[in-house]
Amino acid sequence: MASDEGSVRVDSWIWSVRLTKTRSLAASACRAGHVRVNGERVKPAQAVRQGDEVRLRHAGRDRVVVVSRIVRKRVGAAVAVECYVDNSPPPPPREQTVPIGLRDRGAGRPTKRDRREMERLRGL
């Protein structure tokens, strides 16, 4: 299952160590430019080797990991955390996150004014 030599595709490795739920999500993140290896944007087929730094933006969070072991197949969670060194910044506390504009149940469709106000709150 695990091998300490050679290389593997970056999308396959990200999926194998459980940073994304599916391999297609990992490949989509690569194509969208959300994955960087050693500071360079990469395509899904880019090779990853031991010692490479992988930066992934997924689910609104930046993950920074250093590859410590190459795995070709998806492994269990206990083995997956041994395959990388996590240098990610800690997630922000829940109190500091901006609340999403929630509407009361049964309030109907938002008006144009309501929609603009929600976009302003989200910073769009």
Determine contact, residues 66/52, Cβ cutoff 8 Å: yes
pLDDT digit string (tens) for the chain, length 124 residues: 454 468 899 999 999 999 999 999 999 999 999 999 999 999 999 999 999 999 999 888 899 999 999 999 999 999 999 999 999 988 877 666 555 667 778 888 888 998 898 888 877 6
**Beta-ladder partners of 124:** none
d(CA 55, CA 65): 6
C-alpha distances in angstroms, 53 versus 15, 64, 108, 110?
16, 7, 48, 44
Record the pTM: 0.71
Q: With 0-12 CB in 10 A as exposed, 13-18 as middle and 19+ as buried, what is 27?
A: buried
